[in-house]
A and B are shown apart, each in its own frame.
Chain A
């Protein structure tokens, strides 16, 4: 043989790519179909909790800055 025909090359490459893409998509659906919201909670709940944590953190930083300023003054 020792020669690659255009038909073989294109068929082999594109079919391998198609298989690879399909396999990627198969894994995609295997991952996506798991529904974690039942236990972990919805995105909205998570976002609300995050805002709460951030506000709490900001309040703590304000408090720390106040203390730091007070220490500097004293």
Chain B
């Protein structure tokens, strides 16, 4: 609550600054406030449901006598609790952004590519709003939770010999509150920021192309995200109804299958959407005056970028799991290194951190179709 009060004053101040910088035009400020409000609402919904879902997962796990049934019920509650924020966040973000575009179209009535570019420049304030909230929730919440965690450990573990997250330690409450803000509202705001920024960037670039502003071709990134929602609804049924968790070991594999199934279903969806909806040849214009340059792209190029982005996401997800899960050797080796002292622990951990970045960087750099920023935006959205 305290963080939201500080955020309110920050948003008010920043909105006034945007209005001043924008020569007292309200368009960017409206988009900024919409982005902030949507991100805050999604974060609030996430925290509200997460705290309630936590209790219910424990309840399900503790009260059902049959081990298999209790694990299945507890997993389903945890998964459904997570689904609430995921679906509410993406659906709200997409709906508000589309509504904002419709309102701006109504008032702005753009006709030329310049008009569209300027209109989408204003709408980019939506992404800025999301990032501003993410900064507060992720960083603010993260620092608070670390401070509370270390404080709780110092007093509880070292002085009183209590266990990690012991209910006998009141500081655990502060630690868990910090976890909620940093890892749920913060993570949600971060995801919202990434989604809004990539989509707004694609919109701004599409405003420079005659082919894209003809009809509603500029809505392609939004349609891509909307199809993602539908695919994820189908995918989530696999976890709760088809690949049910009955053993502890199945939890990780069921979650991994979610990533794989959604990627498999999205591949033909992206191919169909790109080939059917986008014009075959698209020209984007960059620069001003005498330095104007035209960049050519095709619907196939955009499709390949989207597919590489999708598969890169899968690979990055798998590698992140490999480097952070205790069921794989990197974390097991790090745990062994901890026994040799603090210095070895820090060096090994740091080296592991650097090594885990190699594959994501290769994935990001491998896309030779980055010949223009629109393709890059579609890669990010995928």
Contact = CB atoms under 8 A, between A and B. Distances in A.
A9 to B, nearest CB: 4
A32 B99 CA distance: 30
A74 interface: no
Interface string B63-101: 100000000000001001101111110111011001000
A28 to B, nearest CB: 5
Interface of A: 1-6, 8-10, 12-14, 16-21, 23-25, 27-28, 30-32, 34, 36, 39-40, 50, 53-54, 57, 60-61, 64
B59 interface: yes
A2 B80 CA distance: 38
Contacts of B219: 4, 9, 13
A20 B92 CA distance: 9
B49 A16 contact: no
15 contacts: A2-B276, A4-B219, A4-B220, A6-B215, A9-B219, A10-B98, A13-B226, A16-B91, A19-B233, A20-B229, A20-B232, A27-B84, A30-B77, A31-B84, A39-B63
B103 interface: no
Contacts of A23: 83, 87, 233, 236
Contact of B91 (A6, A24, A30, A61): A24
A19 B81 contact: no
A17 B91 contact: yes
Contact of A5 (B84, B88, B215, B230): B215
A53 to B, nearest CB: 6
A39 B80 CA distance: 21
B349 interface: no
The 9 closest A-B pairs by CB, nearest first: A20-B91, A24-B87, A16-B226, A36-B59, A17-B95, A9-B219, A20-B229, A27-B80, A24-B88
B299 A31 contact: no
A19 B230 contact: yes
Contacts of A40: 55, 58-59
A12 B155 CA distance: 55
Contacts of A17: 91-92, 94-95, 98, 226, 229
B53 interface: yes
B226 A31 contact: no
Contact of A31 (B53, B62, B92): B53
Nearest to B98: A13
Contacts of B215: 3-6
Contacts of A39: 59, 62-63
Contact of B56 (A4, A12, A36, A53): A36
A1 B84 CA distance: 36
Contacts of A30: 77, 80
A12 B170 CA distance: 49
B52 interface: yes
B214 A54 contact: no
A43 B227 CA distance: 41
Interface string B207-243: 0000000111101101100110110110010000000
A27 B223 CA distance: 24
A3 B212 CA distance: 9
Contacts of A34: 56, 59-60, 77
A7 B14 CA distance: 35
Nearest to B94: A17
Nearest to A34: B56
B97 to A, nearest CB: 9
Contacts of A32: 49, 52
